[in-house]
């Protein structure tokens, strides 16, 4: 065989063997479901809470997806992520069955709307121009004769949480009841700006308003929450809360010791009467009246009038610490990172108390206790370092030997959209509420995608060194490349001259 024909035969045989290996691997991959997730936070893998929920299914769960095919851009990427995630659900439990019903005709569209999936208008590029189009991007869930729906799937970061939350709501046999104290100016689930937060909670739990002004807490309440009371509680009301905790149940409290004006940024002490003594005597904790200021802080946008123009700049607001130190042994907080705590007070354990206090969240080492009443954002951190240095506990749980728990958060402003409204703060509160009646399946899912990676602060010499390194690196690299090219050309000319005797 000629060398050319032999080489052609070998290359053809090699290509055929390679194609055969690829085909065999594809067949094996279709039979064995395995994948390696190296993403931060494991966002492409099912959480332990999801696997636990699917393991508890006693009947077939049908997930019927209504997704308009061939949507452009991020909408199409969302469909691919949904398919990958539902494949994980199917692989995790044989009781999960997934169907895809593309709403391409009127009958399918009517079926989608009847199942709770609503059409949304989107803009697509067609015939060199933008056109409005009606798209379906949702799913219906059916389990034991009960139905639920994800009307619109918008954010892939929350998709696993939304799906598992709906599955748990369908599969649970006994609903929990969480109460929220009213009558003292508290934030309530009925507040319009809190509706997006409390709607998912009401899907899996009964949410009730509780008053202790005339009688005890109702027997059916599994956990009681007090969200930033603006007026003091009476001694009789505190006695009824004590009786509720004595039954072995949990009280959660978001407590402000000061009210902050967002016009003047002045802080005024709130009248609490017997509440601080109740916290100290019953629970062995004290929430100090001053604020924590932290160099690891949230950035806010400030506007300044300069002539006829508005100048905008971002600045660290030291009265909103960003916390990334959470108790690694507590399921409610161990997955959280980067939670903002506006106008937060430190919590300290009282020595010799009969209650045991465990911190859940601590500020950074570059935090200080500040007793000033001026919370203006224009202050520099060196001017605010007037008190004890941190870290400080700002969220914790106190457990009594006689029974009952108190979960205390040192700021009620985490619910105020003017001060926070961040995903991390909402995930923290949702996790604490679930943990208060020991429903821990969803705790690990909420924190997915919430990452906090602050840049390590540099000293003044370090910043100067980094600045000149960035300035000089590119010119020096170009000069070095030019010198290397000139040297290669010089050697080539010298070799040519030597070869031809020039």
Using omega within 30 degrees of 0 as the cis cutoff, is the peptide bond preceding 176 cis?
Answer: no
Task: Identify the CA nearest to 56 among candidates 146, 219, 189, 172.
Answer: 172
pTM (global) more than 0.75 = no
Q: What are the sequence ranges of the domains in the chain?
A: 48-166, 175-446
Q: What is the pLDDT of residues 36-84, one digit of tens each?
A: 555 555 556 787 778 888 888 889 999 999 988 887 777 777 888 888 8
* Cα angle: 258, vertex 262, 263; to 5 degrees: 125
Arithmetic mean of pLDDT, 447-451: 54
Q: How far is CA 132 from CA 122, 123, 153, 465, in A?
A: 6, 5, 19, 52
* Residues paired with 481 in a beta bridge: none
Q: What's domain 175-446's architecture?
A: 3-Layer(aba) Sandwich (3.40)
Do residues 113 and 70 make contact, with C-beta atoms less than 8 angstroms apart? no
Tell me what pLDDT residue 239 has: 94
Structure tokens at 277: 């003594």
Structure tokens at 93: 């439990």
Q: Could you tell me which residues come within 8 angstroms of residue 265 by beta carbon, excluding any fewer than 6 positions away? A: 374, 375, 376, 377
Q: What's domain 48-166's architecture?
A: 3-Layer(aba) Sandwich (3.40)
Between 43 and 153, the higher pLDDT residue: 153
- Please give the Cα distance from 326 to 316 (Å, whole number): 22
Tell me what pLDDT residue 6 has: 54
Taking the CA atoms of residue 340, residue 341, residue 342 and residue 347 in that order, the dihedral angle to the nearest 10 degrees is: -160
Sign of CA dihedral 15, 17, 18, 24: positive
Report how far apart the first and last C-alpha atoms of the chain are (Å, whole number): 48
Proportion of the chain above pLDDT 70, given as a percent: 86
Proportion of the chain above pLDDT 90, given as a percent: 31
Do residues 243 and 216 make contact, with C-beta atoms less than 8 angstroms apart? yes
Task: Identify the CA nearest to 69 among candidates 145, 163, 140, 136.
Answer: 136
Do residues 318 and 384 make contact, with C-beta atoms less than 8 angstroms apart? yes
pLDDT beyond 90 at 416: no
pLDDT beyond 90 at 234: yes
Structure tokens at 267: 């802080």
Do residues 266 and 373 make contact, with C-beta atoms less than 8 angstroms apart? yes
The secondary element (H helix, E strand) that includes residue 369 is: strand 367-370
Burial (0-12, 13-18, 19+ Cβ within 10 Å), 67: buried
- Please give the Cα distance from 265 to 259 (Å, whole number): 9
Q: Which of 2-11, 330-339, 356-365 has the lowest mean pLDDT?
A: 2-11
Composition of the chain by helix, strand, coil, percent to 5: 35, 25, 35
Tell me what pLDDT residue 38 has: 52
Between 44 and 396, the higher pLDDT residue: 396
- Please give the Cα distance from 98 to 103 (Å, whole number): 16
Structure tokens at 103: 């709403």
Tell me what pLDDT residue 469 has: 85
Q: What is the DSSP string of 245-270?
A: HHTT-EEEEE--SEEE-TTT-BEEEP
Neighbours of 188 (CB within 10 A): 14
pLDDT beyond 90 at 466: no
- Please give the Cα distance from 483 to 477 (Å, whole number): 10
Give the chain's largest Cα–Cα span.
113
Task: Identify the CA nearest to 183 among candidates 233, 241, 235, 242.
Answer: 233
pLDDT beyond 80 at 205: yes
Q: Could you tell me which residues come within 8 angstroms of residue 259 by beta carbon, excluding any fewer than 6 positions away? A: 230, 267, 268, 270
């Amino acid at each position: 065989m000629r060398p050319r024909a032999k080489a052609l035969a070998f290359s053809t045989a090699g290509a055929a063997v390679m194609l055969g290996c690829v085909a065999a691997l594809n067949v094996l991959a279709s039979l064995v479901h395995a994948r390696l997730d190296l993403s931060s936070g494991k966002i492409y893998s099912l959480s332990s809470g999801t696997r636990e929920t699917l393991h508890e299914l006693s009947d077939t769960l049908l997930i019927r997806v209504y997704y308009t095919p061939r949507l452009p851009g991020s909408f199409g990427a969302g469909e691919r992520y949904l398919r990958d995630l539902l494949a994980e659900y199917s692989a995790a439990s044989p009781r999960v069955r997934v169907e895809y019903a593309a709403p391409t005709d009127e009958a399918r569209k009517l079926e989608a709307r009847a199942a709770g999936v609503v059409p949304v208008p989107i803009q697509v590029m067609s015939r060199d121009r933008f056109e409005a189009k009606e798209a379906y991007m949702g799913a219906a869930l059916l389990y034991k004769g009960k139905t639920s729906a994800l009307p619109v799937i918008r954010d892939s970061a929350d998709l696993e949480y939304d799906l598992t939350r709906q599955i748990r709501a369908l599969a649970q046999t006994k609903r929990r009841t969480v109460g929220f104290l009213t009558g003292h100016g508290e934030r309530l689930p009925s507040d319009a700006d809190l509706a997006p937060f409390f709607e998912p909670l009401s899907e899996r739990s009964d949410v009730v308003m509780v008053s202790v002004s005339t009688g005890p807490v109702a027997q059916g309440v599994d956990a009681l929450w007090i969200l930033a009371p603006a007026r003091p509680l009476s001694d009789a009301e505190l006695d009824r809360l004590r009786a509720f905790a004595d039954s072995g149940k949990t009280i959660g409290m978001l407590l402000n010791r000061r009210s902050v004006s967002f016009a003047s940024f002045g802080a005024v002490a709130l009248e609490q009467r017997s509440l601080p003594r109740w916290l100290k005597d019953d629970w062995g904790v004290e929430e100090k009246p001053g604020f924590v200021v932290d160099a690891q802080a949230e950035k806010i946008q400030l506007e300044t009038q300069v002539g006829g123009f508005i100048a905008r700049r971002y600045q660290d607001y030291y009265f909103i610490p960003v916390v990334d130190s959470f108790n690694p042994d507590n399921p409610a907080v161990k997955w959280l990172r980067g939670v903002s705590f506006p106008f937060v007070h430190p919590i300290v354990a009282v020595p010799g108390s009969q209650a045991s206090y465990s911190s859940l969240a601590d500020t950074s080492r570059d935090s200080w206790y500040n007793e000033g009443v001026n919370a203006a954002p224009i202050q520099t951190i060196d001017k605010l370092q007037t008190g004890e240095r941190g870290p400080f506990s700002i969220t914790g749980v106190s457990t009594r030997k006689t029974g009952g728990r108190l979960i205390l958060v040192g700021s009620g402003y985490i619910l105020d959209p003017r001060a926070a409204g961040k995903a991390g703060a909402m995930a923290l509160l949702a996790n604490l509420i679930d943990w208060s009646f020991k429903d821990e399946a969803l705790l690990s899912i909420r924190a997915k995608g919430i990452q906090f990676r602050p840049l390590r602060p540099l000293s003044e010499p370090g910043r100067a060194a980094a600045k000149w390194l960035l300035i000089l690196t590119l010119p020096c690299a170009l000069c070095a490349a030019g010198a290397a090219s000139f040297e290669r050309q010089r050697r080539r000319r010298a070799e040519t001259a030597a070869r031809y005797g020039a």
